[in-house]
Amino acid sequence: METLEIIAWIFVLLGVGTGLAILRDVIRHPQPMKIMNVTWPVNGLFTPVFGWWVYQKLGRPDAEAGGHVHKPKWQSTLVGVTHCAGGCVLGDSIAAPIVSIVGFTVAGSLLLGHFVGEFFAAYLFGIAFQMIPMMSMGESNPFRAFINAIKADTLSLVAFEIGMFGFIALSFKVFLPAEPHVASATFWFMMQIAMIIGFATAYPANWWLIKRGIKHGM
């Protein structure tokens, strides 16, 4: 087994362990916004160990208080990005193996097929992650919730996917000798790094959305 594959297995398994540890904790200490019971464990998958620390600092206090505790703007924005990332990561992770199995290509490229398929799935999950809390907090009109979800999530999701797809393109076409198979640990290790970069590129978009009142800080 090559060194990169060994490193990849370590980080992938640590990510799974982090996600499961957070899941166990949110079952015992549910979040006041139910969708965050999914969001926090999903974020742990691509932030091995560090994701547990972030959850303990910014997520667990909300559960203990029974509502959103006051946070500095940079922290409330960061939690808002975890919300966006939850939908993106779920969509990307579900679409990636499906695209590979069916051999979906765009312009003859499997990589472009991944980008199109994953973006579509991420957008669907992202909109759902926005609509569910909106409707649970009193929005009775599904169409209005849908429109508001598009306004709140589109820019954030596009920013996330730009960062993520940019790194994937570089790693698969430049950094690595060949595109790793979707069933390999290397593929998912690259995805972990790409998702972290996507998180970083989504942060300024969320800051702007919150500043304009289009999205609420968390």
Residue 215 confidence (pLDDT): 81
The residues with which 106 forms a beta bridge, in sequence order, are: 109
Q: Please say whether the beta carbons of 119 and 73 come within 8 A.
A: no
Residue 1 confidence (pLDDT): 64
pLDDT (tens digit, 9 = 90+) per residue, 122-143? 999 999 888 888 887 777 788 8
Residue 72 confidence (pLDDT): 93
Say what the pTM is.
Answer: 0.93
pLDDT tier at 114 (50, 70, 90 boundaries)? very high
Residue with tokens 């730009």: 162
Phi, psi of 209 (to 5 degrees): -65, -40
Whether the per-residue pLDDT at 217 is higher than 80: the answer is no
The token pair at 214 is: 């289009």
Residue with tokens 């779920």: 90
Q: Which amino acid is at 184?
A: S
Highest mean pLDDT among 36-50, 61-75, 100-114: 36-50
- State how far the Cα of 44 lies from the Cα of 50, in Å rounded to an integer: 8
The DSSP element (H or E) to which 9 belongs, if any, is helix 3-28
Q: Across all residues in the chain, what is the average pLDDT?
A: 92
Whether the per-residue pLDDT at 162 is higher than 80: the answer is yes
Q: How many Cβ atoms from other residues are within 10 Å of residue 27's Cβ?
A: 10
Whether the per-residue pLDDT at 145 is higher than 90: the answer is no
Cα maximum dimension of the chain: 55
pLDDT tier at 178 (50, 70, 90 boundaries)? confident
- State how far the Cα of 98 lies from the Cα of 160, in Å rounded to an integer: 21
State mean pLDDT over 149-154: 87
